[in-house]
């Protein structure tokens, strides 16, 4: 058993008694009430999911295993010569809650290498799809195609004790995660770079190898590490994380579950917003022609979008009530690496102008930018201008948190998810509406 797996096993053994005690002694204690607004309105704020991987405070933003983003980056061992940590070390961290040593992170990286070979049929599936298929559809299909590899599904067929579920889930999740950089980069190079995939380099880590297979020089390797970690998890209620958890709760294996979650991430109100931010901004710049993107011009463009009944992509959030720290983290990267880049300046001006416009508009509860408002600029700067690819990058990152979560779901024996629905007439009866 690897050190990571052994550490995880010990953590699971410790944790199981906590969950069992809560269920045995306190199952009827309420953690909140559900209002009619929440029942109709997308269960906003209903406390009915449990995860220890990350927690999202509306004002502070995300904490991974109790650490803020800057604390996470500072604590984790860095790839030698790089400013950012091993993604593999982050996987160790979110799975176990323990910050790995450099040796432990490198051991996980070595383990990933043994699992990273993508079966040829996955490439065949991708190649069989029309070339204008959206990259997210390709990404999701590639993952689903690998379902036949599932160790969990095979062991379940053979008959497996429930207490063992976490073990093949861990194996599946690690096997799948290790393959995602190559699948993502393959889709990119096949679709956008004249069908010129680049073979992986066995010497490189998760982020470094991704940059290599994208065909982009340093510091894009650090961009990849930063990007995957930042997008990894945002507690459990967002569409992608919740979908992965929901599908896995039926004991569907992680290939089914992650593919489903990515289909949710592909929605414009969720991960696809990063594509739409760049589309919106580039369309706006193109329409400007030679004119300067002044605050006034941007304000007008924002109002035009709102007045035509559309959302401002990259702004607003269901939980956050301040600027997303993931936005801030990427903004700081831009300030350091591309301070004078014109597109970054436009994005900064939007940041200045959009919140007051949204406040005046009066609908969005959170007028501040989310993660998607900043991420495309960095990609564009390093040459990834094909913005339909951006959500795939988000998806590789999101896999880390969601796969860690379902490993724990299995370890703690979380049951099949099954909230209860009511009819409109029942709600009317509750509030005394008669006709």
Nearer to ligand CMX, 198 or 328 (CB): 328
Nearer to ligand CMX, 3 or 349 (CB): 349
Give dist(CA 245, CA 258) in Å, integer. Answer: 9
Cα–Cα separations (whole angstroms), residue 181 to 165, 211, 310, 353: 26, 9, 33, 36
Q: Contact positions toward ligand CMX, by CB under 6 A?
A: 44, 238, 269-271, 273, 306, 311-318, 363-366, 370-372
Q: Is 245 a catalytic residue?
A: no
Q: Give least dist CB 37 to ligand CMX, A.
A: 10
Q: Give least dist CB 21 to ligand CMX, A.
A: 34
Q: Give least dist CB 229 to ligand CMX, A.
A: 15
User: Which is catalytic among the residues 111, 205, 372, 409?
Assistant: 372
Nearer to ligand CMX, 67 or 317 (CB): 317
Lookup: tokens for 248: 């896995």
Give dist(CA 360, CA 343) in Å, integer. Answer: 26
Among 227, 337, 344, which residue's Cα sits nearest to residue 285?
344
Q: Is 233 a catalytic residue?
A: no
Yes or no: say if 102 and 77 are a contact pair by the CB < 8 Å rule: yes
Q: Where are the alpha helices (DSSP H) in 44-160?
A: 69-75, 87-96, 102-115, 120-128, 135-145, 151-158
Q: Give least dist CB 290 to ligand CMX, A.
A: 28
Counting every residue written for the chain, the total comes to 435
Q: Is 231 a catalytic residue?
A: no
Nearer to ligand CMX, 3 or 38 (CB): 38
Q: Where are the alpha helices (DSSP H) in 193-238?
A: 206-214, 220-230
Nearer to ligand CMX, 129 or 328 (CB): 328
Q: Give least dist CB 244 to ligand CMX, A.
A: 14
Nearer to ligand CMX, 184 or 237 (CB): 237
CA 140 remoteness from chain centre: 14
Query: Nearest 5°: phi and psi at 416?
Result: -60, 135
Nearer to ligand CMX, 92 or 245 (CB): 245
User: Which is catalytic among the residues 231, 234, 242, 270?
Assistant: 270
Helix, strand, or coil (residue 105): helix
Q: Give least dist CB 317 to ligand CMX, A.
A: 5
Q: Nearest to ligand CMX by Cβ — which residue?
A: 316
Cα Rg of the chain (Å, integer): 22
Yes or no: say if 295 and 353 are a contact pair by the CB < 8 Å rule: yes
Helix (H) or strand (E) holding 379: helix 372-381
55 DSSP β-pair partners = 63
Q: What is the DSSP string of 295-361?
A: HHHHHHHHHHHHHTT---TTB--SS--S--HHHHHHHHHHHHH-TT-HHHHHHHHHHHHHHHHHHHH
Q: Give least dist CB 351 to ligand CMX, A.
A: 13
User: Which is catalytic among the residues 172, 317, 324, 409?
Assistant: 317
Catalytic residues: 270, 317, 372
């Amino acid at each position: 058993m690897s050190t990571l797996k052994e550490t995880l096993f010990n953590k699971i053994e410790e944790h199981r008694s906590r969950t069992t005690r809560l269920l045995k002694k306190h199952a009827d204690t309420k953690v909140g009430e559900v209002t009619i607004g929440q029942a109709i309105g997308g269960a906003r704020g209903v406390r009915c999911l449990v995860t220890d991987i990350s927690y999202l405070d509306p004002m502070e933003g995300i904490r991974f295993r109790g650490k803020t983003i800057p604390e996470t980056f500072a604590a984790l061992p860095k790839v030698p010569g790089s400013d950012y940590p091993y993604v593999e070390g982050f996987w160790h961290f979110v799975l176990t809650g323990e910050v790995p040593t450099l040796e432990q992170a490198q051991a996980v990286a070595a383990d990933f290498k043994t699992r990273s070979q993508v079966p040829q049929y996955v490439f065949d599936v991708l190649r069989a799809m029309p070339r204008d298929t959206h990259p997210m559809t390709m990404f999701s299909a590639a993952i689903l195609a690998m379902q036949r590899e599932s160790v969990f599904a095979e062991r379940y067929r053979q008959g497996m004790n429930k207490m063992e579920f976490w073990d093949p889930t861990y194996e599946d999740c690690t096997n799948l995660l290790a393959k995602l950089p190559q699948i993502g980069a393959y889709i990119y190079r096949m679709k956008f770079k004249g069908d010129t995939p680049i073979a992986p380099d066995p010497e490189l880590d998760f982020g470094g190898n991704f940059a290599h297979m994208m065909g982009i020089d340093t510091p894009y390797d650090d961009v990849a590490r930063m990007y995957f970690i930042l997008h990894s998890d945002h507690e459990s209620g967002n569409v992608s994380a919740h979908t992965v958890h929901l599908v896995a709760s039926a004991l569907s294996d992680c290939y089914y579950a992650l593919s489903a979650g990515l289909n949710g991430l592909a929605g414009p109100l969720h991960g696809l917003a990063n594509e739409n931010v760049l589309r919106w901004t580039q369309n706006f710049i193109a329409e400007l022609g030679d004119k300067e993107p002044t605050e006034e011009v941007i304000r007008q463009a924002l109002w035009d979008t709102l007045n035509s009944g559309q959302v401002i992509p990259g702004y607003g959030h269901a939980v956050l009530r301040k600027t997303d720290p993931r936005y801030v983290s990427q903004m700081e990267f831009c300030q350091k690496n591309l301070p004078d880049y014109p597109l970054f300046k436009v994005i900064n001006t939007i940041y200045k102008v959009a919140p007051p416009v949204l406040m005046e508009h009066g609908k969005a509860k959170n007028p501040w930018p989310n993660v998607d408002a900043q991420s495309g600029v960095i990609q564009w700067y390093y040459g990834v201008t094909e913005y339909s690819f951006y959500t795939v990058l988000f998806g590789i990152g999101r896999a880390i948190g969601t796969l860690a979560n379902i490993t724990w779901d299995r370890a703690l024996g979380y049951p099949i998810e099954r909230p209860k629905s009511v009819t409109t007439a029942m709600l009317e009866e509750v509030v005394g509406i008669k006709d």
